[in-house]
Each structure stands twice: as C-alpha cells, then as structure tokens.
Amino acid sequence: MNEIVPFMTEIAPFTGYVYPNETIVPWGVLIVIYPYLTGLVAGAFTVSSFYHVFGMQQFKPVARFALLTSLSVMIFVPTPLLLHLGHPERAMNSMITPHLTSAFAMFGYFAAFYTVLLLLECWFVFRADNVVRANNSTGLARTFYRTVTLWSDDISPRARAIDSKWLLTLAIVGIPSAHGLHGYIGFVYGSLKARQWWESDLMPVIFLFSAIVSGVALLMVLYVLASKLRRVPIDHACLKGLTFALWGFLMFTVILEGLEFTNLVYKGKEGIDVIMEYVQGPLFFRYFILQFGFGALLPIAIMGLMIARNVRGKAFVIGAMVSALLVLMNVLLMRWNVVIGGQEISKTGKGLLTYPLPVWGRESLMSAAVLVMAPFALLWVLTRLFPPWTDPPGNT
C-alpha cells in the first residue's frame, strides 16, 4: 500500500475532469412540443366543461368547438414522442409489456383512455345533428353520417335526454382525466431528482394551470378568427367570459411559477451557483423578459385595464386577441425553459451546455412547426364535417 500511494500522487497532476461532462441535450424541441400540445388539450376541454358541466351559458358558443379542438390536438399528442424515438414501431411494447412503476410507461394508457373519452363525448354531442344531416343528405354523405351515428335515427326527446345524461357523465369524468393527463407530465419532470431545475413539488400544478391558460388563449384566438372567416358577429359575452377566465388563471399561474423559483433559490441546494449563473446569463432574456414580462405581466395588465375600464367593441376584441397570443407565447417559452433549460444546466452542477436548434431534420424547427400546425388542419376538416356553431342558420 505504501508503494501504491506515491505512484498515484505522481500521476494525479496529469488527470482531471472537463466540465460540463455531458455532450448532448437528449430531449430536444419535439419534447418541448409534446407538453405544449397536451396543455392545449386540457385547456380546451376545460372551456367545454364550463358549459357542459357547470352550465355557464356565456361559454355555449364555443363549447362544442372546444371539444373538437381538444380532440384534434389530442390525436397528434403522441406524434412528437414517436418522432423522437429511434424505433417508433416499438412504442406499443410499453403497453403490451407494461412497467407499472414507470411514469413514462403509463402515458400510453392515460392517452388512450382520454382519447376514447373525447371520441365518445363528441359522438354524443353531435349525434342528433348527424342524424339530421344523414336524413337531409344523399349518396356518400348520407352513408358517412349514417355510419357515424351507428345507423341510429332516433332524435326523440327521450333519446336526446339520454344523450345529455351520457354527455354530462363523460364530461365529469373528463375533467380529472384531462387535468390528470397534463399533471402527469409535470409529475414526470418534478420527480427527476437528477435535474435540480426540474425537481419541484409545484411542477405538476404549474404544468396544469399553464395548460388551462394556453387552452383558453387558443380558443379565444380560434373563436375570433372563425367568426371573422364565417362573417358572423362575435358573441362579446362569450369572449368576455374567456377573457375573465384567462386573466384569473394566468395570475394564479404566475404566482405559482414565482413561488417555485423563489423556493429553488431560497433552499440553495448543491448546484445553485451554476443555476444562478444560468438564470442571470443565457436564460435571463427568455425567462424574465419574454416569459414573465411580455408573456405574463403584459397580458395581465392589458386584460386588467380592459376589465377595469369596461372596454367594449373592437378595442376589446383586439386587446383580447393580443393578450391571448402573448399567453400562447408565454406557455411555449415556459415549456422550452423547463425542458431545454433543465438540460442546459449540467447535472454535475459545473458548467452550462448550449442547445443548437436544427432547422431541418427529424427533430428540428420545421418538424416542430408542422406538428403545431397539423391539429388545426384536422380541426378545419372536423368543423366542416361536424359544424359546432350554435348561431342561427341565417348568420352562417
């Protein structure tokens, strides 16, 4: 032993470590888009539940549209994960040979259950209308709508009452399902102890409330655009209700995010020095200026001013649209700063990484843009097949 120690002492000056010792950021832009899409699903479903479960009449104009929006986005939610996998054809293995203690393995079951629930709820919402369309159509259109209604033509008051009963039941079950789906994603990040930027008990709650604000903001934008394209008046009671909901949920979300960051700094765990270096350096602009400043505080101020001054008409529509677009940017930045930001901080607590966003390729800016736009193409098709609007026929 006495002979070994001098030998180790001699070679020690010629050995060492280079920090950060990670060389890549394994979860790229597709894993940013994945929680962003699931948030839109949960938020849109929340707006639908305002009317179908809680009976808030001001949300009736967008209730059915919100369901179609939620379904359209939900169908594309697994796509970023499948593109991220090296062998997407193996994805079913996680469901046929489940690892029940893995939060990652449970996603397939949660997503499948919620997708089926959304399909059933949409079926009951549009069943009576589809029966009428089948009776008023011929040829291929009649065959399509007859198939969609499962060859049922009963639209009697009793049948409609049964539809309403099932719709209420599914909507009630859907509330915890939709929010649990997105809260689960926050749980995945919050439970990863290897990343101090992620490890937080508030992470599931923050993901959940940011999902709600993103879904409400999306519906505000889509409802105004759809009304303009259809050349029908905007229901200002509906838009004002959406604005109030966005304003309230956004303030609560900002408070939660502020508490999470304050708690992280106050605890001062090992590695806090490199986190503070990151926050004050590369992350400062997109975290404090863009995400919190322009994406949260500015829309809160705009909506608060409009509500306090009882702004109406075109000015209110413009203010609501600007606020909604800023909130959508805020949530996307939040997803980016969590997913990419957490990986740009070295797990050793020494040094920072840089994520180069490729423009082309499987995991690139273009593939992310296509994934974000694809649900809206599907939504356009669904709204043509199953018109969700409740305004009088003469206005369409």
Does the pLDDT value for residue 56 go beyond 90? Answer: yes
3-state secondary structure 1-26: CCCHHHHHHHHHHHCCCCCCCCCCCC
How does the average pLDDT of the chain come out, rounded?
88
pLDDT in tens, 147-201: 999 998 889 999 999 999 999 999 999 998 888 877 788 888 888 777 778 888 8
Write down the pLDDT at residue 4: 41
The answer to whether residues 239 and 67 touch, using CB atoms and an 8 Å cutoff, is no
Q: Please, which pLDDT band fits residue 18 given cuts at 50, 70 and 90?
A: low
**CA distances from residue 391 to 222, 231, 395 in whole angstroms, order as listed:** 16, 12, 7
Domains identified in the chain and CATH numbers: 23-383 (1.20.1630.10)
What does the block give as tokens for 389?
A: 């609007």
The answer to whether residues 171 and 49 touch, using CB atoms and an 8 Å cutoff, is yes
**CA distances from residue 211 to 9, 40, 99, 394 in whole angstroms, order as listed:** 56, 6, 27, 36
Tell if the pTM clears 0.85, that is, is over it.
yes
**CA distances from residue 343 to 8, 36, 267, 288, 363 in whole angstroms, order as listed:** 35, 18, 20, 18, 16
pLDDT in tens, 211-232: 999 999 999 999 999 999 999 9
Write down the pLDDT at residue 275: 84
Q: 322 vs 111, which has greater pLDDT?
A: 322
Q: 219 vs 353, which has greater pLDDT?
A: 219
The answer to whether residues 249 and 216 touch, using CB atoms and an 8 Å cutoff, is yes
Overall average pLDDT of the 225-252 stretch: 95
The answer to whether residues 270 and 349 touch, using CB atoms and an 8 Å cutoff, is yes
pLDDT in tens, 79-138: 999 999 888 888 888 888 878 777 777 788 888 999 999 999 999 999 999 999 999 999
Does the pLDDT value for residue 354 go beyond 80? Answer: yes
